[in-house]
Structure 1
């Protein structure tokens, strides 16, 4: 690609010196902040107006599931018509949905009305994270900086999910129960429109032309389906850890240390993400993913048996350290598996898989904790990662770059996006190409 970076070095310095990067990084950071504020903002508002955590959880879960199911469709439309064309109406629809949800909650509307509004609110959530990743892929092409970009985005996501809930909670408890969602809507509107205004950095639109092959979803790429399973397992770790740590600390009478333990877990994830981006990898991404995922599954094994708080914190730190390499490498593989015409969609499938895995794990961990004790909830991350690892090992051949089956648009685009099949011996060379 003409926009690809030619620098052969890795690391954050060369990455952040990529021409035009800051034009989408800063508004992208602002626009993705509300993503982490929505769920907790809904829980705090609905619980305050109904007095029921069950109702609040149902509304929040409905929003999350709608977000996960509709995100890939948003990505597909962005690939076809451009990010700006999808983002602007999506931002306006989301702000309208959040506003309606606030009004209904304050008016003590029945549950069915809250759920009815929660669906479009979640479905219209702007997928800024995947859009930023697609811009990196378009900007860097086959540059060795792609793993660094994936690491940078992973750290940014983790930082967002540390800051966002804290900000929303402070606003809801310190100002008004609806203040968190008001801030979420305001940031979505301002950040989303600023990000959409950055036209020069958005990936090119791949429109179908006469004689082109039919456009196919990124889901038709076998490697993407394998990665979705892997990301479901990663979501199971996030959801299982959140619920199980909460249940464990309440059981031992120290609910105040829940934030500390989860902070250690999230901190390990951030530290590993930073390290992954600073390393010049000599091992191919497929092999890195298999090793990292195996370590993640192994790290979750002792969680259910730990009863001492310091030891639980240490194990949680190790789990966090193992998540980032698997997550980052999965995103990195998209660039070699999926043509440019379907990359935003592919990224949204992976983001949605994490959200679905997280929601399912939170529910399963809560049920196990209620019936069999708080430690049993930690079996969910173990089961999720073990099953995903089995699928990864069985279908690892699909993670090698090969000729794409996804139509990229015009003949020039198709020629540019075709990736020849490679052997395991050439994986290292391809990773550094």
Structure 2
């Protein structure tokens, strides 16, 4: 029988790989710990900018626009950073990047507190976003390198994808709560300042772990991958378009929850509300990696977006904190299946030489969707209140669902059945030890 993405392989006789087995991968902890520290600040960046700029200007629309500029700059530069990391090595890209990011964040804070002209805030936001280190894609690429040695270890790649999604969402449980607490109890600039400091320290530590980074193309892994962009693969373009929808959920929720908390006179509740949303995502990711699925990742991707669109359709009508927390939690439950399925499909769609770049296209798409959502939701919240801002996630996820339903055939794996990693990308067996 020939396998397709949605035709699960029959592997019931083999033990299912779990998180415990994954974490026993040699040298995995040497990049996991610094990688977690380095990507933690990413969850603090947008909310840190929004809270600081809203404090200094009094406008969520202006704050959202500045944050959106950061997101657009990241979305445009992240894939180029990933492609360069594939070519010359992660450390050579990370070190100057984190130094530039820390300097740009410091400049943005200084300009905002000095009531500098608005155009200077946008000017500082561009290098701030462009220099955001792509730690998540780099960690995923290191997992793929560490697990590619044999079919036995390659079977752990779906588990690694689930683990990385959980790790990402754990940062979004901690990051917004931490940034909000710092901004509301210490100083309006404290959240963004902590983001810059953590990025610098964590990024340099991660860059120092050179032994686990994928071999760069310049070291002789092939010239073909250096010439071809991951975006030339139609499936990557479809996934990138779909991931814009997830970005609209992140951005729309951040701004709208902040505006909602302001409206009810309890700005400090914003952090916990967003933390509950991210906690749903994290718990869903844990469960997702523990289940042996009978359906392939294409179908799970569509189902995840369908559920997310359904939940997003109810947010605008909510007025109470407990109900909004519940719906946010349910929305979070739907995000992890979509993210994990999308990242798993990347391994089946692109060559290893373009893997980091492909991951950064998806991460950049999330950032771009988040940037657009922050801008639109901020304007709507200013003009019509927080309820209007919640319409943004609905529009974004609805459009993404239409894209997926229309172009599912583009997500078929390249060379399915010709390598263990490609086949594993759509079999996806995973269980908890």
Under TM normalisation by the shorter chain, which class is it?
0.7 to 0.9
Q: Which has the higher contact order (CA 8 A, sep 6+)?
A: 2
2:215 is aligned, of 196, 199, 204, to 204
SS at match of 2:227: coil
Does the aligned pair in 2 maintain the 1:241–1:381 contact within 8 Å?
yes
Separation (CA, whole Å) in 2 of partners of 1:16 and 1:310? 36
Confirm or deny that 1:166 pairs with 2:177. Answer: yes
Q: Where does residue 132 of structure 2 map in the other structure? A: 125
Partner of 2:364: 352
Q: Is the 8 A contact 1:10 1:278 kept in 2?
A: no
| Map of 2:30 onto structure 1 | 23
The 3 A distance-change label for structure 1 pair 11 and 116 is same
Alignment deviations for residues 21-53 of structure 1 (CA, whole Å, 9 cap, x no partner): 100000101111222223333344445555655
Distance 1:247 1:173, change over 3 A: closer
Inter-partner Cα distance in structure 2 for 1:250 and 1:48: 12
Of residues 292, 297, 322, the one that matches 2:309 is 297
1:155 aligns with 2:166: yes
Q: 1:43 to 1:255 in 2, by over 3 A?
A: closer
Q: Is the 8 A contact 1:93 1:124 kept in 2?
A: yes
| Aligned mate of 1:382, from 363, 374, 394 | 394
Per the TM alignment, residue 132 of structure 1 is displaced from its structure 2 partner at its CA by 0.6
| Structure 1 residue 267 corresponds to structure 2 residue 279 | yes
Match of 1:37, SS state, is helix
Taking the aligned partners of 1:103 and 1:370, their CA distance within structure 2 comes to 25
Which residue is equivalent to 2:155? 144
- Kindly state the Cα deviation for residue 175 of structure 1 after the two structures are TM-superposed: 4.3
Report the CA distance between 1:294 and its aligned residue. 2.2
Q: 2: distance between equivalents of 1:157 and 1:189?
A: 18
Match of 1:102 in 2: 109
Structure 2 vs 1, CA of residues 107 and 373 (structure 1 numbering), >3 Å: closer, same or farther?
closer
Q: Distance in 2 between matches of 1:77 and 1:427?
A: 25
Q: Which residues of structure 2 form unaligned runs of 5+?
A: 1-13
Task: Verify the 8 A CA contact 1:284 1:427 in the aligned structure 2.
Answer: no
Structure 1, unmatched stretches of 5+, are 1-6, 405-414
Aligned residue for 2:409?
A: 397
Separation in structure 1 between the aligned mates of residue 34 and residue 56 of structure 2, nearest angstrom = 33
State the distance in 1 between where 2:145 and 2:40 align.
23
Work out whether 1:89 is the aligned partner of 2:100. Answer: no
Contact 2:89 2:216 in 1 (8 A): yes
Judged with a 3 Å threshold, the aligned counterparts in structure 2 of structure 1 residues 81 and 120 are, in CA distance, closer, same or farther, namely same
Aligned pair count? Answer: 411
CA distance in 2, matches of 1:347, 1:215: 17
Distance in 2 separating the partners of 1:40 and 1:313: 18
Moved over 6 A (4+): 208-211, 415-418
Q: Within 2, Cα distance between the matches of 1:317 and 1:418?
A: 33
2:347 is equivalent to residue 335 of structure 1: yes
Q: Is the 8 A contact 1:11 1:279 kept in 2?
A: no
Query: In structure 1, the residue corresponding to 2:86 is in which secondary structure?
Result: helix
Change (3 A) 1:247 1:194: closer
Distance in 1 between residues matched to 2:349 and 2:18, nearest whole Å: 23
The SS at the match of 1:281 is coil
Query: Is contact 1:137-1:146 (8 Å) kept?
Result: yes
Please tell me whether the aligned partners of residues 82 and 360 of structure 2 are also in contact (alpha carbons under 8 angstroms).
yes
Q: What's the CA shift for 1:184? A: 2.6
Q: Secondary structure at the match of 1:10?
A: coil
CA distance in 1 between counterparts of 2:326 and 2:173 reads 19
- The answer to whether structure 1 residue 223 and structure 2 residue 230 are counterparts is no
Q: Compute the displacement of 1:199 (Å).
A: 1.2
Q: How many angstroms apart in 1 are the aligned matches of 2:322 and 2:197?
A: 40
Partners of 1:130 and 1:427 lie apart in 2 by 17
Is the alpha carbon distance of 1:264 and 1:203 closer, same or farther for their aligned partners in structure 2, counting shifts above 3 Å?
Answer: same
CA deviation vs aligned residue, 1:365-397 (integer Å, no higher than 9, x gap)? 344445555434333222222221111111111
* The 10-residue stretch of structure 1 (391-400 or 134-143) with the greater mean CA deviation from structure 2: 134-143
* Selected match of 1:276 from 273, 288, 295: 288
3-state SS, counterpart of residue 205 of structure 2: helix
Contact 2:71 2:370 in 1 (8 A): no
Q: CA deviation at 1:172?
A: 4.1
Cα distance in 2, alignment partners of residues 304 and 177 from structure 1: 28
Whole-Å separation in 2 of the counterparts to 1:256 and 1:399 = 42
Using the size of structure 2 for normalisation, the TM-score is 0.84
